[in-house]
């Protein structure tokens, strides 16, 4: 619309310029024509009057002369006459010309000097007047001058009329033309193009041909429409043959899972049942800044994993709307289609009050359950008021889910993470036919550790409302089963890995989560990672030969301080690397309202500063801390330029950064140093596995990584990439959904 208005504005400006130029030229011509006509007529009049005036002048008949000038004043356009003697002193003057007339004497004198009629236009009392002086002769000598004053005001009136008429015409023309342009562009160009874009988008998103809009029948675009129809048809054909191929591959579990294969698989096993994903964190957060709304994807392992799955299965994702622009983007049902650039599924937002967010999210989830489940030596804080808000918020999510699934026969509801532990029971109570899964993204501690939670029984009971409970590792499953055995009256079948409570059975199973590789790792077209990497190092003034990287939320479980300590020991022990090794720590601010996290961020800053100040020399420092959220492309750029990646979590469910680093290295270079306390260490055995509490060991691992031969690096990275390719997030969700579909 903006472009349309600009186009109309430009057209109006061009027309205005043309009309103004044309009018100016027309006015000038008309002015010249009228002036020369007046000059000519004045000359004729002067010549004829001279014959009458000359004899009287020679006879010096003052009375006759005065009579003559009085006779000719105010006649039509003639204002009056003046007669001058040879010294240009008036001898007789019309009463209308008695006042001092500018230039009159000069014009009379010029006419006498040159012995020919001379004239000029002057302004008299705001009136345009033409003065023409003709010499009077006695025989051959010039004895005086006769001056005629003609009213020339009608010339200005005529010019003004021309301008007025043309400007009115311009206004009418511009209005009609703008209207015509708007109508033409809107209906002849914009509407058909919009229709074509929509039909292409529809084809690209894989919509059924029969459901697509009829392409425009605009005559103007017919050749283009024909071409696009052909492209759509080819796309449809390619898609159905790919889909056929994917179907054929469904049973061949050795071929890698892709988004398309998952889509086919879901169609095949769910047979039209919709998938409802539920999580605290939303995949797209809309931010209002000034008058502008933008969006970003938060730094979250859960979002990294689930987002590509939702893109493939096109269901509904229910999550807390945490952005200050979120409410502006939803419809009346609090839904918005995402990804915003290319909508594929529905995001339904749940709203929480400040009090709920504080108690449920900051308090019970992040200060209670998070440290409880991570053995990272941080004491959990359990407050009754936080627990109350946790229950209220869980009920809100449950209500939102119920409003979506109430008319569905056997909906599949997949709940994510520890924020929503009570949800399975709440949903099951209202909708028993729903098949409910809960995936726990963080570790499950041993029964002893979990037992300190004051509401352990309620939490376990809430979770056991699910038909399937998923964890990253078998160890976490075992810990959970043991915890339930200790805390709740139930029937445990270790062989089947089930827990029955009342007449409901929950399956406990491990599903090691992963990333969207290879599908999600093509990178942006036209994005030159190598050039961007060089630019980034340049901007950061990093000139070191070796680069290490760490990418984490600023969370005390990620072992960032332990990592910095290891770097300090490494440089002390191997001083040859001073000035040659820089470690880039990409740290996304996280849970910033929680006191522990604020303190931790401060500690990280201070520790980086401390290590830097003891080593820095000649503009080099060992640690560069980039404390902000980075885009997917920025994170990829840093992965690709780093010789090693340090993942030193003190305890981590899986840790996707480890997998992302390996996936990003399509050059088959780089070394992953991985904490033994991550779920990922069970799969990525070709990483250098370390105990993050043992800084000496991590320091040695850094050296080993930097001195590893390229051949060895390639071998390890290649093997790990193969593992991630075969165990990607599409496979993870296929297995999870297949298990759920088999449960009801
Ligand atoms: P997280 O604790 O969030 O996940 P992780 O699995 O490493 O941890 O995922 C972090 C994600 O955030 C990655 O995709 C990473 O690229 C991104 N990220 C980190 N820092 C960033 C930054 N500065 N800018 C932009 N993006 C950044 C939880 C559990 C994990 C589990 C996942 C998935 O704690 O153990 O692996 O869920 O189940």
Q: State pLDDT tens for residues 656-702.
A: 999 999 999 999 999 999 999 999 999 999 999 999 999 999 999 99
Q: What is the pLDDT of residue 709?
A: 98
Ligand 1 centroid, distance to 21 Cα (angstroms): 66
Out of 403-412, 512-521, 723-732, pick the least confident: 512-521
pLDDT of 509: 97
Q: Which residue has the tokens 């502006």?
A: 328
Separation CA 456–CA 453 (nearest Å): 5
The answer to whether the CB of 624 falls within 8 A of the CB of 583 is: yes
DSSP state of 40: H
Q: Is the pLDDT of residue 525 over 70?
A: no
- Separation of CA 632 and ligand 1 centre (Å): 12
| Residues 395, 569: Cα–Cα separation, whole Å | 50
Judge if the beta carbon of residue 319 lies within 6 A of ligand 1: no
The CA distance from 112 to 110, in Å, is 5
Q: DSSP string covering 490-540, please?
A: -EEETTTTEEEETTEEEEEEE------TTGGGS--TT--HHHHHHHHHHHT
Paired tokens of 456: 């352990």
Q: Three-state secondary structure along 368-404?
A: HHHHHHCCCCCCCCCCHHHHHHHHHHHHHHHHHHHHH
Q: Is pLDDT above 90 for 519?
A: no
CB of residue 686 inside a 6 A radius of ligand 1: no
Residue 204 has pLDDT above 90, yes or no: no
pLDDT at 501: 96
Four-CA torsion 698, 700, 702, 705, nearest 10 degrees: -120
359-398 tens-digit pLDDT: 999 999 999 999 999 998 899 999 999 999 999 999 999 9
Distance in Å, CA 417 to ligand 1 centroid: 13
Pairing of strands 275-279, 412-416: parallel
In 285-415, which ranges are continuous DSSP H helix? 301-313, 326-329, 354-356, 370-373, 384-405
Q: How far is CA 581 from CA 57, 484, 594, 661, in A?
A: 113, 48, 34, 19
Contact 479, 514 (CB under 8 A): no
**What is the pLDDT confidence band of residue 555, given thresholds at 50, 70 and 90?**
very high
- Residue nearest atom 9 in ligand 1 by C-alpha distance: 301
Cα 228 → chain centroid: 28
CA nearest ligand 1 atom 4, residue? 301
Nearest CA residue ID for atom 35, ligand 1: 653
Atom 1 of ligand 1, residue of closest alpha carbon: 301
Q: What is the mean predicted confidence (pLDDT) over 636-652?
A: 97
206 φ, ψ to 5°?
85, 20
Q: Is 304 in the pocket of ligand 1 (CB under 6 A)?
A: yes
User: Going from the N-terminus, what domains does the chain have, and what CATH number goes with each?
Assistant: 29-157 (3.30.450.20), 352-407 (no CATH), 442-512 (no CATH), 522-727 (3.40.50.2000)
d(CA 367, CA 596): 8
Distance 303 CA to ligand 1 centre (A): 8
| Confidence tier at 97 by pLDDT (50, 70, 90) | confident
Is there an atom of ligand 1 within 6 Å of 727 CB? no
Q: Percent of the chain scored above 90 by pLDDT?
A: 70
Mean pLDDT, rounded, of the chain: 91
Higher model confidence: residue 250 or residue 391?
A: 391
Q: Is 557 in the pocket of ligand 1 (CB under 6 A)?
A: no
The whole-number average pLDDT for the span 132-156 is 91
CA 547 to chain centre: 31
Please indicate whether residue 273, judged by its CB atom, sits closer than 6 Å to ligand 1. no
- Please work out whether the CB of residue 516 comes within 6 Å of at least one atom of ligand 1: no
Asked if residue 350 has its Cβ within 6 Å of ligand 1, the reply is: no
Atom of ligand 1 nearest to the CA of 630: 24
- Going by pLDDT thresholds of 50, 70 and 90, the confidence category of residue 244 is low
Name the pTM for this structure. Answer: 0.73
Interval between CA 225 and ligand 1 midpoint (Å)? 45
Taking residue 144's Cβ as centre, other Cβ atoms within 10 Å add up to 27
Q: Which atom of ligand 1 is nearest to the CA of 472?
A: 38
Residues linked to residue 275 through DSSP beta bridges, in sequence order? 412
- Contact yes or no for 213/196 (Cβ under 8 A): no
Q: How far is the CA of 551 from the centre of ligand 1 (A)?
A: 8
Query: Over 70: is that where the pLDDT of 1 sits?
Result: no
pLDDT(522) > 60: no
Residue 521 has pLDDT above 60, yes or no: no
616 has a pLDDT exceeding 80: yes
CA dihedral angle for residue 526, residue 531, residue 536, residue 541, rounded to 10 degrees: -170
Give the mean model confidence (pLDDT) for residues 145-161: 92
549 lines ligand 1 (CB under 6 A): no
Could you tell me the distance, in angstroms and rounded to a whole number, from the CA of residue 593 to the centre of ligand 1?
Answer: 19
Q: Are the C-beta atoms of residues 719 and 661 closer than 8 Å to each other?
A: no
* pLDDT per residue as tens digits for the range 261-306: 888 888 888 888 899 999 999 999 999 998 899 999 998 889 988 9
Burial class, 682, CB count within 10 angstroms (exposed 0-12 / middle 13-18 / buried 19+): middle
Mean pLDDT of 94-112: 85
Give me the pLDDT at residue 569, please: 98
Task: Look up tokens 């004895």; give the residue.
Answer: 143
Between CA 276 and CA 100 the distance in angstroms is 98
* Four-point Cα dihedral 590, 592, 595, 597, nearest 10: 20
**Bridge partners of 506?**
499
3-class SS of residue 277: strand
Q: What is the pLDDT of residues 19-38, one digit of tens each?
A: 999 999 999 999 999 999 99
Greater model confidence, 19 or 4: 19
> For residue 302, how far is its CA from the centre of ligand 1 (angstroms)?
7
552 C-alpha vs ligand 1 centroid, how far in Å? 6
**Mutation probe of ligand 1 site: the residue of 300, 301, 550 with most atoms within 8 A of C-beta:** 301
Cβ of residue 132 lying under 6 Å from some atom of ligand 1: no
- For residues 727 and 520, give the distance between their C-alpha atoms in angstroms, rounded to a whole number: 14
């Amino acid at each position: 619309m903006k472009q349309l208005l600009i186009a109309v504005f430009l057209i109006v400006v061009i027309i205005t310029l043309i009309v103004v130029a044309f009018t100016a030229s027309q006015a000038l011509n008309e002015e010249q024509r009228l002036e020369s006509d007046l000059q000519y007529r004045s000359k004729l009049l002067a010549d004829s009057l001279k014959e009458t005036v000359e004899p009287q002048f020679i006879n010096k008949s003052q009375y006759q002369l005065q009579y003559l000038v009085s006779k000719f004043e105010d006649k039509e356009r003639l204002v009056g006459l003046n007669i001058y003697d040879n010294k240009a002193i008036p001898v007789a003057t019309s009463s209308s010309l008695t006042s001092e007339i500018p230039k009159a004497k000069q014009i009379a004198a010029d006419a006498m000097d040159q012995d020919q009629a001379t004239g000029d236009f002057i302004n008299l009392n705001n009136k345009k007047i033409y003065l023409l002086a003709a010499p009077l002769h006695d025989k051959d000598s010039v004895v005086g001058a006769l001056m005629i004053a003609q009213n020339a005001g009608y010339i200005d009136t005529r010019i003004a009329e021309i301008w007025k008429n043309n400007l009115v015409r311009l206004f009418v023309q511009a209005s009609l033309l703008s209207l015509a342009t708007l109508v033409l562009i809107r209906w002849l160009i914009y509407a058909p193009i919009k229709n074509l874009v929509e039909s292409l988008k529809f084809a690209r998103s894989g919509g059924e041909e029969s459901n697509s809009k009829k392409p425009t029948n605009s005559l103007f675009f017919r050749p283009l429409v024909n071409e696009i129809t052909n492209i759509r048809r080819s796309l449809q054909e390619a898609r159905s043959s790919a889909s056929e191929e994917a179907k054929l591959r469904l049973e061949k579990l050795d071929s890698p899972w892709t988004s398309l294969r998952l889509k086919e698989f879901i169609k095949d096993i769910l047979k039209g049942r919709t998938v409802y994903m539920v999580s605290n964190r939303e995949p797209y957060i809309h931010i209002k800044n000034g008058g502008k709304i933008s969006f970003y994807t938060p730094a979250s392992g859960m979002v990294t994993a689930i987002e590509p799955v939702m893109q493939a299965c096109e269901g509904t994702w229910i999550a807390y709307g945490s952005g200050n622009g979120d409410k502006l983007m939803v419809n009346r049902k609090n839904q918005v289609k995402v990804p915003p650039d290319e909508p594929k599924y529905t995001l339904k937002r749940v709203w929480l009050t400040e009090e709920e967010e504080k108690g449920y999210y900051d308090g019970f989830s992040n200060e209670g359950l998070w440290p409880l489940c991570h053995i990272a030596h941080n004491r959990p804080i359990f407050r009754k008021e936080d627990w109350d808000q946790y229950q209220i918020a869980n009920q809100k999510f449950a209500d939102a889910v119920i409003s979506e699934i109430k008319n569905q026969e056997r909906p599949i509801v997949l709940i994510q993470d520890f924020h929503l532990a009570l949800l399975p029971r709440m949903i099951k109570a209202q909708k028993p036919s729903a098949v409910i899964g809960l995936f726990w993204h963080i570790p499950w501690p041993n029964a002893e550790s979990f037992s300190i939670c004051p509401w352990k029984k309620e939490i376990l009971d809430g979770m056991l409302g699910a038909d399937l409970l998923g964890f990253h590792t078998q160890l976490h499953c075992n810990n959970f089963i043991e915890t339930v055995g200790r805390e709740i009256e139930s029937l445990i079948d270790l062989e089947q890995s089930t827990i029955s409570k009342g007449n409901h059975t929950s399956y406990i199973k491990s599903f090691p989560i992963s990333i969207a590789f290879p599908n999600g790792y093509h990178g942006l077209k036209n994005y030159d990672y190598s050039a961007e990497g060089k630019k980034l190092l340049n901007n950061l003034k990093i000139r070191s030969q070796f680069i290490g990287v760490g990418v984490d939320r600023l969370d005390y479980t990620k072992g960032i301080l332990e990592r910095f300590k290891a770097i300090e020991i490494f440089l002390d022990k191997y001083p040859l690397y001073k000035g040659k090794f820089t470690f880039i720590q990409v740290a996304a601010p996280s849970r910033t309202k929680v006191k522990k996290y604020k303190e931790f961020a401060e500690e990280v800053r201070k520790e980086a500063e401390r290590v830097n100040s003891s080593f820095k020399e000649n503009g080099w420092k060992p640690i560069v801390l980039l404390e902000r959220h980075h885009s997917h492309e920025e994170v990829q750029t840093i992965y690709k330029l780093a010789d090693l990646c340090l993942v030193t979590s003190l305890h981590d469910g899986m840790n996707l950064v480890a997998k992302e680093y390996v996936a990003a290295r399509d050059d088959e270079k780089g070394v992953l140093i991985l904490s033994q306390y991550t779920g990922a260490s069970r799969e990525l055995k070709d990483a250098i596995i370390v105990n993050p509490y043992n800084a000496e060991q991590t320091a040695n691992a850094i050296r080993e990584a930097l001195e590893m031969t390229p051949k060895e690096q390639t071998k390890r990275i290649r093997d790990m990439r193969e593992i991630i390719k075969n165990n990607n997030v599409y496979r993870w969700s296929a297995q999870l959904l297949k298990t759920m579909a088999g449960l009801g």
